[in-house]
Every structure is written in structure tokens, then in C-alpha cells.
Structure 1
Amino acid sequence: MTGQSRAKPCSWLSRFRRRARLTGDDSDDGGGSHCSTLPVRGARGTAPGPAHARARREPLVRGLPAGLRPPDEARLPEQEARRPPLAFRSRGGERPRPTAGRGPPGGYNRGYATKHVVEGLEPRTLYRFRLKVTSPSGECEYSPLVSVSTTREPISSEHLHQAVSVNDEDLLVRILQGGRVKVDVPNKFGFTALMVAAQKGYTRLVKILVSNGTDVNLKNGSGKDSLMLACYAGHLDVVKYLRRHGASWQARDLGGCTALHWAADGGHCSVIEWMIKDGCEVDVVDTGSGWTPLMRVSAVSGNQRVASLLIDAGANVNVKDRNGKTPLMVAVLNNHEELVQLLLDKGADASVKNEFGKGVLEMARVFDRQSVVSLLEERKKKQRPKKSCVC
């Protein structure tokens, strides 16, 4: 070992080697010995002290015999054992820094423990370790070189979601056939693999997941299911497939909105048209504000094509929400001038008052919607009856 003097073997160390395993045992050798690990290369040892010796902090494997492999992830216990013959402890609760045989050494380990486990190891990687044992008198000895290697990284839910995110069908099939990962396990955002595939429009992945038993009606943290996400994103093939496998138009998110509300927000007319043909209720009301999909269009996007499609399918242009507002009022407040024109053309009543007795013209003036004010005033003049002339 470069830069280190090798001490003479002592009788207590010989006894110690015959008796102890690296995981430690509960017997007391009577010597009050101290041990620590030392890397094979690049170590910087310090002079041993009377009771403790410092060494480069290296991970300690669970057993010295060759071929024994450490776990890929574990933790270092902080409770001090009572003089076990082979003991190990992290200073100040620090996390150990493993070192590969091909890389630089890690940190320091010092103290007592019954076992030492290593976190953050790379899969399929060779690691090398040595143990430095120091007696109370300052004598020290190094163990023979131990080479250990980690196994393949186990398949986890992260691999499942990664396969879906990159639209990798082959990897997804291999993971599901392995049987170690549940198909409905959510990611860190609360989305199942089916939700992600439906939102991205990966129809083949959706079919694979459904055939492997995923629940099409599961919801994320905001209450949205896969059908709502597909409707909002405009993936008609996914919408049709989910409907054939049990997805419901009646499902609601935490705000009380249905798939048609989200399809109206997304503005995909082909999806909305098919939903209506499939029996989706066109004037369904959310449980929060009492808004229909037409009112959502008036508030959010102002999309004329979506509004016209809903109205032609039977949506009520004069329906009121919980506060007495109509789609026309909502469109005026959000300054959707073209939508206001469409609603008036489709029969919206501009004389309706809300619960505070205010009409659309007054609302437009209060919120300084000058273009909408001009439109409403012009429409009002056209609706005035002409005076008859008496000869």
C-alpha cells in the first residue's frame, strides 16, 4: 500500500480473523479493537492514535469471503454497538461514498457497528475494499483485498414510466411480462402509465396496458381519469378505445367537470362531435360553478367552432349558472367579441339580467369592453321597431 507502513501481525488480530465476520457478531474479544476500511488505491492514511485511527472512508461489504455481493442500496445504522469485534460507524451520520476499483477513493469511516451497507452503487460494477484494523495500542493491520461486484439494477416503476414516456413498446412489454411492477403504479405526479399514454396519444401503448389489466377509471390527484386527459389532448383513437373498455362520460374530476368540459377546453371539434354522437350529454353541468361546456368555451377559449358545434347539438344559449350569468354574459366579461356575435346570432337574449340586476351592456361598460359595447349598441338599434308613419 503506497504511503502506508505495514505493522507486524499481532496475536489478537490472528484470533480476530479466525472468529469474526465483516458483518460482526455479538461476542466480545476482550481487546476493545477498532476497525475501519481502506481503499486499494489512492488512500491517505494518518498516524494511528491511542484509541482510534483515521482512514479513508470506504464502504464495507457484508462479508469478507470472495463472491459475496453487497446490496445496491442500504443504509448505515447510527446506533453504536457495544464493542463488537468487527464494528463500523459513520461519523456524524454522514452517508458513505462508495468507490469503484477503477475510480478514486471515497470518504472516511470510523467507529463501531454490526454491519455497513452502501448506497448509490452502480449496477454491474466491480468494487474493491480493504479493512484496516487498529488495536488500542496503535498497532494496525490491513485485510486482504476483497473484490465484489453489484448485480443488475432491478426493474422498478420508474422503468415502466420511462418506457411509456419515450413510447417504447418492446421495453414496456418486457417489463409487464416480468411481473415485478404493478401496471397501475403512479409516477411522482400521480399519473398512471395509462394516463400518460392517453395524454400523449400513444394508442398502441394504451392497448398494451389495457390488455395487461390496467384500470381505465383510475384518477390522478386532481380527479382526472385517462378519458378526460385524452379528450383534452384531442386523441380520438384513444378516446374511442377507452370507451370500448369501460371509460365513462359520467366521471367527474374534483371540480365537478366531465370529459366534455375538458374536450371543450381543448377545442378539438372532431372529438367533441364523436362524443356527442356517442351519447355524451351536451348540457352537462359541473358541480362547482354550474357551468355547461358552452359556458366553459365562453369563459376560457372563446372558440367559435366549438361553441357553434355545441349549440347545433342542442346546447342552451340562455342557460344560467349559479350566479345567474348566461354564456353571453361570460363571453362579454372575457371580451370574446366574435363569440358574442355568434351567440347573438344563435338566439342569445341580451336583455337577461343576472342576480344583481345587471345586463350584458352594463357589464361591458363597467369592464370597459369598448368593442363589445359598440357591438351590443348596434344590435340594440337594429332590434328597435320602426315608427309607423300616419298620412
Structure 2
Amino acid sequence: MDIFDTNWWKGTSKGRTGLIPSNYVAEQAESIDNPLHEAAKRGNLSWLRECLDNRVGVNGLDKAGSTALYWACHGGHKDIVEMLFTQPNIELNQQNKLGDTALHAAAWKGYADIVQLLLDKGARTDLRNNEKKLAFDMATNAACASLLKKKQGTDAVRTLSNAEDYLDDEDSD
């Protein structure tokens, strides 16, 4: 039998490698439209590195208009966010079809460490989504709200938000 015989496939299971008759195998290759986005959503650093090594566009948009950075922030994957920041020309302030940015996602999900990273990189706090909400308005905990409030400064115009409720609760302790 020739090693390149198409009637046989090489397979590995539980650390053992062997040959399998091709008629025993059904190929089920999954097609992924946005591999970088999927790696970011899943928090899969090695897959993300592979995508970046293969020059997958770091600012590409999925069908919702979101970037991989948005999905990394949405999922709370700080290591993925940090890896994406190593890429030149990463777009911090891309708004998806709902008008949300990576900062909106991190604030809404309550990831203060990621909010801080985004702010340190220069993410804009003045962008409003389609519901006219700032990232500050979407903050769901006091830590995120406090970081965003400091960054916005006192001259930002705000409406009453969940974030202010959390800050009021924190101040009353």
C-alpha cells in the first residue's frame, strides 16, 4: 500500500495514529466566514495568532458590522484584546450596525480591566450607539462607570443611566 493511497486516511485518536479506510470517514469540514472573529469570540489565542500570522484583516467586519476586537471585549477575553492591540492600525472605535463599539461592549458586560485597556489605547468615550447611549450609559457596574466618568470629564453631557445608579449606590456605602 502506497502512503499516498487515496483509499486510506491517516487518523489520530487518543494519542495513537493509524490508517483508516476512506469509506469509513465522512469529511465534515466546517466553513467559517470570519475566523479571526470566531477566535476572538471563543477566546482562542492560538487560533487568533494563526489568523494574524496568515494576515487575516484585523479590522474586518462580520455580518453585524462588528470587529474581532468588539467580540473579544464582549467576551471578556483580555489576552485576545492585548494580542489584537499588537497589530498596527487596529481600529478602536468602529461602530457596528447597532452603533456599539468595543468600549460599549466591555462596559455593558462589566469588564473594567478591558475598559481600562481600551481607554489607555485612546478609545473614544463620546460615541453614541443607535439608542443614543454612550459607553458610560451602558456600564453595568461601578468600576466601569467610574473609569468612563473619569475619562469623560465633567463637561460631557449625560442622561441618567444604569452607571449613575451604580455610582450612587457605591457612594452611599
Same fold by TM (over 0.5)?
Answer: yes
Q: Specify every segment of 5 or more residues in structure 2 that has no aligned partner in the other structure, as ranges.
A: 1-8, 157-173
Give the match for residue 102 of structure 2: 327
SS of 1:169 mapped into structure 2: strand
Contact 1:285 1:291 in 2 (8 A): yes
Partner residue of 1:318?
93
Cα deviation for residue 296 of structure 1 reads 0.6
Cα distance, 1:339–1:277 mapped onto 2, change above 3 Å: same
Q: Which residue of 1 aligns with 2:143?
A: 371
User: Root-mean-square deviation (CA), in Å?
Assistant: 2.6
Q: 49, 71, 78: which one pairs with 1:304?
A: 78
Q: Is the 8 A contact 1:311 1:317 kept in 2?
A: no
Matched residue, 1:281: 57
With over 3 angstroms needed to count, the CA separation of the structure-2 counterparts of 1:383 and 1:343, relative to structure 1, is farther
Code of the aligned partner of 2:81: A
**Aligned 1:150-229 pairs, distance under 5 A:** 164-170=12-18, 173=19, 175-176=20-21, 181-183=23-25, 185=26, 192=28, 218-219=29-30, 225=31
Letter of the 2:43 partner, please give it. G
* Matched residue type, 1:348: A
Instruction: Name the CA distance, whole Å, in 2 between partners of 1:278 and 1:382.
Output: 44
Look up the SS of the partner of 2:150 in the other structure.
helix
Judging changes above 3 Å, is the alpha-carbon distance between structure 1 residues 383 and 182 closer, same or farther for their aligned structure 2 residues?
farther
Structure with greater helix percent: 2
Stretches of structure 1 lacking an aligned partner (at least 5 in a row): 1-159, 187-191, 193-217, 220-224, 226-250, 253-257, 385-391
TM-score, normalised by the number of residues in structure 2: 0.72
Q: Which runs of 4+ in 1 moved over 6 A?
A: none
* Alpha-carbon distance change, 266 to 355 in structure 1, aligned in 2, over 3 angstroms: closer
How many Å apart are 1:272 and its aligned residue?
2.5
Partner of 2:121: 346
Q: Residues of 1 paired with 2:97 and 2:136: CA distance?
A: 20
Alignment of structure 1 residues 1-391 onto 2, 5 Å:
164-170=12-18, 173=19, 175-176=20-21, 181-183=23-25, 185=26, 192=28, 218-219=29-30, 225=31, 251-252=32-33, 258-287=34-63, 289-300=64-75, 302-313=76-87, 314-364=89-139, 367=140, 369-381=141-153
Amino acid of the residue matched to residue 105 of structure 2? Answer: V
Q: Distance in 1 between matches of 2:42 and 2:98?
A: 25
- 2:161 corresponds in structure 1 to none
SS at match of 1:350: coil
CA contact (8 A) 1:299 1:334 kept: yes
- Taking structure 1 as the reference length, the TM-score comes to 0.34
Whose relative contact order is higher, 1 or 2, with alpha carbons under 8 Å and at least 6 apart?
Answer: 2
The separation in 2 between residues aligned to 1:342 and 1:307, in whole angstroms, is: 8
**Would you say the 8 A contact 2:35–2:51 is kept in 1?**
no
* Alpha-carbon distance in structure 2 between the residues aligned to 1:359 and 1:264: 23
Q: How far did 1:363 drift?
A: 1.9
How far has the Cα of 1:298 moved from its partner?
A: 1.2
Residue 375 of structure 1: how far off its partner (Å): 1.5
Q: CA deviation at 1:382?
A: 8.6
Q: Please say if residues 98 and 129 of structure 2, whose CA atoms lie closer than 8 Å, have aligned partners that are also in contact.
A: yes
Change (3 A) 1:304 1:383: farther
Following TM superposition, by how much is the alpha carbon of 1:324 offset from its aligned partner in structure 2, in angstroms? 0.4
Instruction: Answer whether contact 1:260 1:293 (CA < 8 A) is retained.
Output: yes
Residues in 1 aligned to 2:83 and 2:152: alpha-carbon distance in whole angstroms: 26
Distance 1:311 1:324 in 2: 21
Q: Deviations over 1:112-144 (max 9, x none)?
A: xxxxxxxxxxxxxxxxxxxxxxxxxxxxxxxxx
Shift of 1:285: 1.4
